Structure 1
C-alpha cells in the first residue's frame, strides 16, 4: 500500500504579476486534475498576496510522473518572467492524528 503525499508549491508573483500568475495556474489545475493519482490540486491566496498550491497525490511515483509531465512543462512556460523567485515546492510527510477523516489531508 502506498502512502498519499501532500505537497505545497509557493508562487511569489513579480510586482504587478499576481493576476498573470493566477491566470497561468487556472488551466494547469484542470489538466492536473485529470492526471492519474491527483487527489487534490488547489490554489489559495496568502496574506502576503502570494499563491500557495496545496496538492495531494496517491503516491510519490505518480507525483514524480506529474512533475515530469506536460502540464507542469506548460505551466512553467506560462509562468516565465512572472515570478519574483523560483517556485518553492515542499513534500510533506503525514503524521496522522485524530480521526481518519480529520487527522490527515
Structure 2
C-alpha cells in the first residue's frame, strides 16, 4: 500500500446551477464515506460560488479504486450539464507538522 493522499476537487457551476451542483454532490458524499480507505470526503462552498471538495484517503491505491468506482460514475452523470468546465482534481502529499491531530489533514 502507498502513503496517505489528500485530494482537492474544484467544481465551478454554470451560472445559476450552484444549488443543483450541491444537490448532486450530497448523495456522493454519503456513498463514498462507506468506501474502504476514505478518511475524509467533504464539500465546502467558496463565496465566489465554486465548490471545493476535500478528500483524504489512506492510500493512492484505494483512491484509484474509488476513482474507477460506481459512486464517481454516478456523480459524474448527475453533474452533466451543471459545470462550467471539467472538475479540477489535485492530489497532494500530506506534510505533517505541529501536533498529530492538528498538523495533518
Shorter-chain TM-score above 0.5: yes
| CA–CA separation in structure 1 for the residues paired with 2:98 and 2:3 | 17
Give the equivalent residue in structure 2 for 1:90: 90
Cα deviation code 1:18-55 (max 9, x no counterpart): 01100000000010000000000000001211100000
The within-5 A match list for 1:1-105 is: 2-105=2-105
Q: Does structure 1 conserve the Cα–Cα contact (< 8 Å) formed by 2:2 and 2:61?
A: no
| Secondary structure in 1 matching 2:23 | helix
Distance in 2 (CA, whole Å) between partners of 1:62 and 1:80 is 25
| Structure 1 consecutive aligned stretches of length 4 or more whose deviation exceeds 2 Å | none
TM-score normalised over the length of structure 1: 0.96
Gaps of 5+ in 1: none
The alpha-carbon deviation at position 2 of structure 1 amounts to 4.0
Q: Secondary structure at the match of 1:73?
A: helix
Where does structure 2 lack aligned partners over 5 or more consecutive residues?
Answer: none
TM, length-normalised to structure 2? 0.96
- State whether residues 38 and 56 of structure 2, in contact with CA within 8 Å, keep that contact through their aligned partners in structure 1: yes
Structure 1 vs Structure 2 CA RMSD:
1.0
Asked whether the 8 Å contact 2:9–2:89 carries over to 1, the reply is yes
Between Structure 1 and Structure 2, how many residues are aligned? Answer: 105
CA distance in 1 between counterparts of 2:99 and 2:50 reads 32
Deviations, residues 34-86 of structure 1 (Å, cap 9, x unaligned):
00000000000012111000000010000000000000000000000000010
Conservation of the 8 A alpha-carbon contact between 2:41 and 2:53: yes
